[in-house]
Amino acid sequence: MLAAVFLFGGVAGAALGRGMALRDLEATFRGPPAEARAQFRLRAMRRHLDLTDRQVRELRATLADAETERDRLLSECRPGLDALRDRTDARVKSVLTPDQLTRYEEFEAERRRRPGPPPHGPGHRGRGPGGRGD
């Protein structure tokens, strides 16, 4: 019986911790995307680096500036990236059988409907087929 109480306490604690972490993450991403990315990065830095208040203020400004510049650069590249995506999609479809094409289109539609970042999070590198972590 005592073991069951401890087990229940552990499960409840884990669920509560996860719920609080998800709420914190949702609060971070309510703002504009650039601001959310900067806040997310700053929170991670604060957790791992024991930053002073002065460092936090300076880094907040630095990261906000960097995200604004990132958005500007991406907007300049967006038409070319969209065209590349369309050309790649056409080439992929030309290789598939009719059955595969149907499944591919369903897969792509589901992927586009799914909210949020990729499964490993934004900016995840070195994982998956052909990646360093493969």
- pLDDT, tens digit, 9 for 90 and up, residues 32-91: 677 888 899 999 999 999 999 999 999 999 999 999 898 899 899 999 999 999 999 999
Residue 70 lies inside a defined structural domain of this protein: yes
37, 122 in Cβ contact below 8 A?
yes
- Residue 25 has φ and ψ, to the nearest 5°, of -65, -45
Confirm whether 125 is domain-assigned.
no
For residue 41, is it within any domain?
yes
Q: Do the domain assignments include residue 5?
A: no
Which of 9-13, 95-99, 104-108, 128-132 has the lowest average pLDDT? 128-132
In a domain, 99, yes or no: yes
Give the chain's domain count.
1
Cα 4 → chain centroid = 37
Residue 7 lies in a domain: no
Q: Tell if the pTM clears 0.85, that is, is over it.
A: no
Residue 72 lies in a domain: yes
* In a domain? residue 10: no
Q: Which domain holds residue 72?
A: 19-112
